[in-house]
Every structure is written in structure tokens, then in C-alpha cells.
């Protein structure tokens, strides 16, 4: 699917799992419920990853967009 | 409940307890009284957590949104 | 008192003492004279705290909002 | 081709590979799908580089613009 | 005098001496000539303080507001 | 030539070589193709300098304005 | 001369020498050609100072405003 704007890349990821890598080095993986133009993200079933293993379970979480480096939608 | 915008995730958390993780590494847990689009948060019965234990009691507190990494509504 | 917006939490604190915790680790306690949407604060009878003791007296002070982590209105 | 605005330099790079160097020292190479005025980038077939070797494969990725130092369109 | 907005606290300080504490730890004391909503300050007879002693004389100076933590009008 | 606004200093530098010094300590030298009010720069024939020697060749590059400290148009 | 706004302090400094102290600790001295509300500065005959001695000559230079702590117009 062609996309016009970079945030369109998240539209296909709604209700699917994504990984957000944060400026403090943490990675949060969760089901993407919603996002906005600031890249604020609401996730469900979220967990913090460390070396690709689950460090702790967060459940529902709201991540502030300005703390994000990149988002990887898992395919 | 489906949500359209990420901050909607906080609406259900009004008057319930949430944990805010801050850029300085601190965690504040409290009853969410109000929030705005900057993620400024007003809490009551707030306390600072360290290793999941209460480090100090804060009571009522206003947290500046730009200091927040993520918010976990407890279910 | 129910509050609609997080900064309403400061309205009741006008002319009362509040503690502002700053991003550089300092804490300033003073009588809140005025605030604005940026969380710029004007205080009177302000003092800097260290380990909950008075480190120095500041008197009247204007604190820039973007340097603030959180504000604790004392009840 | 003459360009009027700096972001025009990315227009010719759509669907071609670019390297984004980030403020945390990481380099991400991928096929540019879309970008916006904040320099938010959507890439496909992205991979993280270290010393010009592939450190890990990311696949589809959305990079937040404010984390970018520079972008090198490969010719 | 009651004040409505925090920057009103600087109005009474025009042409009087104030101390600006900066994010880099420096303190600048000078006669306040002008300020704006960003807290940009123009001072005259300014000097940099270290341990409450004059480290160097600056004379006229313009301080960028976003570098300021707090301003102490001397009474 | 008198200039009214600081960015006018870049107008005469179009298609000439400039050096951009970045907040991470790096220096990029290249032919200025375009710039905007954020100081985003598009360069061609760019190279990274270290101790005034060429460390690596970048070719075409887009530099994000907020990562720039200063720009030196070479005369 | 009375000034209304802090940036007026730079108006009298046009075509005169000023020193800009930057957030990275560097000092740039040069003849002020132009400035804007962001404190972007265009200088000519600029040089970088270290311990009040000339470390290197820059000539014409554009300094990004958000990298500036303070500006000292020399009288």
C-alpha cells in the first residue's frame, strides 16, 4: 500500500502490535489502540522489552510522543 | 472500549489511580483528577515510588506534561 | 472540589505555600502569587530546600515554567 | 535538478534508499516511503547500521523527525 | 501589590537590580532594562556572580529567556 | 551588501560552499543548495570534516536545522 | 536610551562588535550585521574566543539563536 504521509504507516498498525523505541533506551511493545500527530501512542497489552525479552508487563499505557525515537509496526 | 485519540485512554482513568513515569527516572502514583493536551496531570493522594515501594507521600500534585515518558492507568 | 483542568489545582493554592521541584534537582518553597499556562510561577517568601531544610532564602522569585517537574500545593 | 526548499532534496529520494543519522548516534538505512515537514520518515526494508554493517533488520519503520541529525539520499 | 500574572513580578523590578540564575549554573546580576514573554532580559551594569562574589563584569547584556531557571528581584 | 535579516547571509551563499557546525561537534562542509527558516539545509558534494580534514564523503545531504550551532559561508 | 523590549538592546549594536556566549561554552565575537526574534545572528569579522584570546577566525557567520545563552554588546 502506498502511503502519502509518514504517519499513515501507523494506520495499518491499529490493533496490531508495534514496538516503540524511546529516547531513554527503553522499548515498549504493545497493541496500538490510537496515535496522534505528536506520536502520542495508546497501547494495550504493553510490555517493556530488554534484550528482546519481556522485562515487565504494563498492560494499558499512554506514551508521550516526544519521548519516541522510532516505531516498528510488526508485520 | 474503542478509543479514537491516545489521550482518550486517560478519560476512563479519571478518579482512578495511574502511574506516571518521568524523564528523571521517578515514578509518581496517584488518583488522576485532571489532564490536558500537554499531558499536564493533577493528582490527589500521590506518592513517589521506588522499586515499587512508596518512597514519599506527595498528596495533591501537579505534574508538568513535558516531564512525562508514559502513563499507566491501573485497571 | 472537582477540577476540570490540571492547572485548576493551582487556583486553590494562590496565596498559599507550594513546593516546586525543578529539573535541576532543586526544590523551591514559597507563597504562590501568580502562575500562567506555561507554569511560570511568581512566589513570595520563597526559599530553596535541601533535604527538607532551608538552604537559602530567596524572597520574591519568578520561576520559569519549563524548568519545573512538579508542584506540590501544601494543604 | 535545482531545488527551492531543503526538503525538496527528499522528493527525488522517494522509494529510493536513504540513510538517517540520529541524535543517539544510530544510523537507519531504508527505502523512503514518505516524509513530512517535521522530517518524520516512513521507511520500508529498514536496517540499523553500525560501522557500515547491518546490526539488525527493522523492516517497516517510522522515525520521529526531531531525533534526526541528517539524511543522506544514496544516489 | 497583588499581581495577576507571574511576569508582573518583573514590572516592579524595571530599572532595579535582579539576579537571573541560568540552566548552566551561572548567575547574572544586573539592572533590569526590559523583558518579554519569553523571559528574554536586557540588563545594564550586569556582572556574573560566583559564590556571591563578582566573577566578571559584563556591562550591558541580553540574556536568552530559555536559558533561565529563575529570576530574583532584589528588594 | 547590507542585510536586513540574519538568514539573508545565506542567500549570497547559495551554490557556494558553507560549513555547518553541529551540536554533536561534527562539521559538515558542502555546496548549499537550499535552506529554510528552520535552518534546514540541503547540500551537495558534502563531506564531514575532522580537524579540518575530510573524514568521510556524504555527497547530497539534508541537515535538520535544530542540530546546527552556526554556519560559515566561505567567501 | 530607554528600551521597551529586550531585543532593542541589539538595535544600537548593529554594525558594532558583540560577543555571543553559546550553550556549548564557546564565545563568538563579531560585528553584528542582523538579528531576528529567535536571536539568530549574522556577524562579520567573527572570531571564536578562548580565555579572551582569539582561537580561530570565522569571518562571516550565522549563529542559530537557540544555541545562545547571552549577548554582550561591547560599548
Average pLDDT, chain D: 93
Instruction: Name every chain G residue with its beta carbon within 8 A of the beta carbon of F41.
Output: none
Q: Has residue F53 got a pLDDT over 70?
A: yes
Joined together, the cell numbers standing for residue A16 give 496490531
Which of G37, G32, G29 lies closest to G8, judged by CA?
G37
What is residue C73's predicted lDDT score, i.e. its pLDDT?
92
Burial of G47 (C-beta count, 10 Å sphere; 0-12/13-18/19+): middle
Q: Has residue C50 got a pLDDT over 70?
A: yes
- Compute the Cα dihedral for D59, D65, D71, D74 and give only its sign: positive
Q: Are strands A27-35 and A17-22 parallel, antiparallel or unpaired?
A: antiparallel
Which residue stretches of chain A have pLDDT < 50? none
D60 part of contact set with chain A, CB < 8 Å: yes
Burial of B52 (C-beta count, 10 Å sphere; 0-12/13-18/19+): exposed
Of A9, A68, A69, the CB nearest to D33: A9
SS3 labels along F3-69:
CCCCCHHHHCCCCCEEEEEECCCCEEEEEEEEECCCCCEEEEEEEEEECCEEEEEEEEEEECHHHEE
Distance from CA of A50 to the nearest CA of D (A): 15
Read off the pTM.
Answer: 0.94
DSSP B28-53: EEEEEEEE-TT--EEEEEEEEEETTE
Q: How confident is the model at residue G75 (pLDDT cuts 50, 70, 90)?
A: low
Q: Has residue F12 got a pLDDT over 90?
A: no
Q: How confident is the model at residue C53 (pLDDT cuts 50, 70, 90)?
A: very high
**Residue position matching grid coordinates 501589590:** E1
Of D6, D66, D72, the CB nearest to F40: D6
C70 part of contact set with chain B, CB < 8 Å: yes
Distance CA E37, CA B23 (A): 26
Q: Has residue D59 got a pLDDT over 80?
A: yes
Distance CA G27, CA G70 (A): 10
* Percent of chain D at pLDDT exceeding 70: 96
**Phi, psi (rounded to 5 degrees) for F28:** -115, 125
- Compute the Cα dihedral for G58, G64, G65, G67 and give only its sign: negative
- D29-48 pLDDT, tens digit per residue, is 999 999 999 999 999 999 99
Distance from CA of E46 to the nearest CA of G (A): 10
B51 part of contact set with chain C, CB < 8 Å: no
Pick the CATH number of F8-73 from 1.10.1370.30, 3.40.50.150, 2.30.30.100, 3.40.190.10: 2.30.30.100
D36 part of contact set with chain F, CB < 8 Å: no
Q: Has residue F17 got a pLDDT over 80?
A: yes
**Can you tell me the ipTM of this complex?**
0.93
Chain C's closest residue to B34, CA to CA, is C6
CB contact under 8 A, F9 and G36: no
SS3 E28: strand
Cβ(B43)–Cβ(B60) below 8 Å: yes
Chain E's closest residue to C39, CA to CA, is E6
C16 part of contact set with chain B, CB < 8 Å: no
| Alpha carbon of residue D64 to chain centroid | 11
**Phi, psi (rounded to 5 degrees) for A8:** -55, -25
Q: Does domain E1-49 have CATH number 3.40.50.2300?
A: no
Q: Has residue G1 got a pLDDT over 60?
A: no
- G27-63 pLDDT, tens digit per residue, is 999 999 999 999 999 999 999 998 889 999 999 999 9
What is residue D1's predicted lDDT score, i.e. its pLDDT?
53
Q: Which of E7, E25, E28, E42 to mutate to test the interface with G (most CBs of G within 10 A)?
A: E42
Q: Which helix (H) or strand (E) holds E71?
A: strand E68-73
Domain residue ranges of chain F, discontinuous segments joined by +: 8-73
Architecture of the structural domain at C1-51: Roll (2.30)
Average pLDDT, chain G: 93
Of E22, E62, E66, the CB nearest to G6: E62
**Residue position matching grid coordinates 582569539:** G54
F56 part of contact set with chain G, CB < 8 Å: no
- E4-60 pLDDT, tens digit per residue, is 899 998 998 999 999 999 999 999 999 999 999 999 999 999 999 988 899 999 999
Q: How confident is the model at residue C21 (pLDDT cuts 50, 70, 90)?
A: very high
What is residue A75's predicted lDDT score, i.e. its pLDDT?
58
Average pLDDT, chain B: 93
Instruction: Name every chain G residue with its beta carbon within 8 A of the beta carbon of F68.
Output: 64, 67
Chains B and A touch (3+ CB pairs under 8 A): yes
What is residue F4's predicted lDDT score, i.e. its pLDDT?
86
Distance CA F36, CA F7 (A): 9
D6 part of contact set with chain F, CB < 8 Å: yes
Distance CA A61, CA A46 (A): 7
Amino acid at each position: 500500500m502506498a502511503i502519502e504521509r509518514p504517519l499513515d504507516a501507523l494506520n495499518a498498525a491499529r490493533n496490531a502490535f508495534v514496538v516503540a523505541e524511546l529516547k531513554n533506551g527503553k522499548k515498549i511493545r504493545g497493541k496500538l489502540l490510537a496515535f496522534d500527530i505528536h506520536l502520542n501512542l495508546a497501547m494495550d497489552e504493553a510490555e517493556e522489552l530488554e534484550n528482546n525479552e519481556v522485562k515487565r508487563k504494563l498492560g494499558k499505557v499512554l506514551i508521550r510522543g516526544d519521548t519516541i525515537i522510532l516505531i516498528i509496526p510488526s508485520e
